[in-house]
Amino acid sequence: MTTKTLLCCVLYVISHVTEATLTIGAFNIQRMSRNKIGKVDFLKHVAEILLRYDIVSIEEVMDTTACQAVLDEVNRMGGPYNLTISEAMGRTSYKEHLAIIYRSDKVTLTGAVKYPDPDDDFEREPYSAHFHTTQAYLTDFALMGVHLKPTDAFAEMNALVDAYNYTTKVLGTQNFIIAGDYNADCRYLSNKKYHLSNLYTDDRFDFLVNKTADTTANHNTDCAYDRFVATGLVKHAVVSESVLVYNFETGMHLTYEEAKNISDHYPVEMQLQ
């Protein structure tokens, strides 16, 4: 079957049946550590947020113990979920993991890979998970989790093209959601540089989160740091108007202080069919 024929089949099915969907999220849970998970109601609130998603990329995981505690709470409240997590990454003593939590009764993890970064372009290398599902009409796709270094956001955005090219060959699919904290707005990246970036000018990539969105939980900021970028057949499988920022302060009826205890970012979310 040719790529054109496959695309036509996917579009036909999507246009006629819309019930089967997966909800995808990306969430920078600010410095998620063993100390943080001990805060009052933190685990309960984070688990409630993560239960919105069938697959979610999580950034700023400081240690695997904290991530496992979050996974355990999610499963206690409503599973089954599993995770894949990168090694600790960073050029200095400050290091983070990238994690991807997924609902194991809806998707099957078929592979995971960290970009080897031969030119040392990234502070934290992109980490990708390849999934198969029978719960959406696009049955084969990958989620690449990213957390770009704020002061190198432009250079790292450019390098994401190389990371994508490499990972498509390793995982055997061009259907990607590149999800996470790009830090590609406000003082870290001008509008001019954003529109000049390789990721923006290459027509294989579609930015899904509006540049005018505010993905920050701080009342004093208004920045679209957290993004989805779609490639391949994913571009045609995104449910119309499903790409949103989830404001958990209002959505969960929290005080501002309670919301700040969770993160300084809101998650972004989308539906895939």
Residue in the block written with tokens 């980490």: 127
- Counting other chains too, the contacts that 140-143 makes at CB distance below 8 Å and 24 or more residues apart are 140/173, 140/175, 141/173, 141/175, 141/176, 141/177, 141/232, 141/233, 141/234, 141/272, 142/167, 142/171, 142/173, 142/175, 142/176, 142/177, 143/24, 143/55, 143/57, 143/100, 143/176, 143/177, 143/179
Per-residue pLDDT tens over the stretch 3-24 = 555 555 545 444 444 468 999 9
Contact 115, 122 (CB under 8 A): yes
- Most distant CA pair in the chain: distance in Å? 55
In this predicted structure, what is the pLDDT of residue 8? 53
In this predicted structure, what is the pLDDT of residue 19? 62
Domains parsed from the chain with CATH numbers: 3-16+23-272 (3.60.10.10)
In this predicted structure, what is the pLDDT of residue 12? 47
φ, ψ of residue 206 to 5 degrees: the values are -120, 125
Pairing, β 97-103 against β 107-114: unpaired
In this predicted structure, what is the pLDDT of residue 7? 52
Contact 82, 101 (CB under 8 A): yes
Per-residue pLDDT tens over the stretch 212-270 = 999 999 999 999 999 999 999 999 999 999 999 999 999 999 999 999 999 999 999 99
In this predicted structure, what is the pLDDT of residue 158? 99
Pairing, β 55-61 against β 244-245: unpaired
Q: In angstroms, rounded to a whole number, what is the distance separating the alpha carbons of residues 83 and 99?
A: 7
Q: In angstroms, rounded to a whole number, what is the distance separating the alpha carbons of residues 242 and 240?
A: 5
Count of CA atoms in the C-beta half-sphere (13 A) of 16:
6
Residues comprising the chain, all counted: 273
Query: What is the mean pLDDT for each group of 10 consecutive residues in the chain (273 residues)?
Result: 52 51 99 97 99 99 98 98 99 99 99 99 99 97 99 99 99 99 98 98 98 97 99 98 99 98 99 98
Q: Is the dihedral of CA 246, 53, 99, 29 positive or negative?
A: positive
- Catalytic residue ranges: 96, 147
Whole-prediction pTM: 0.93
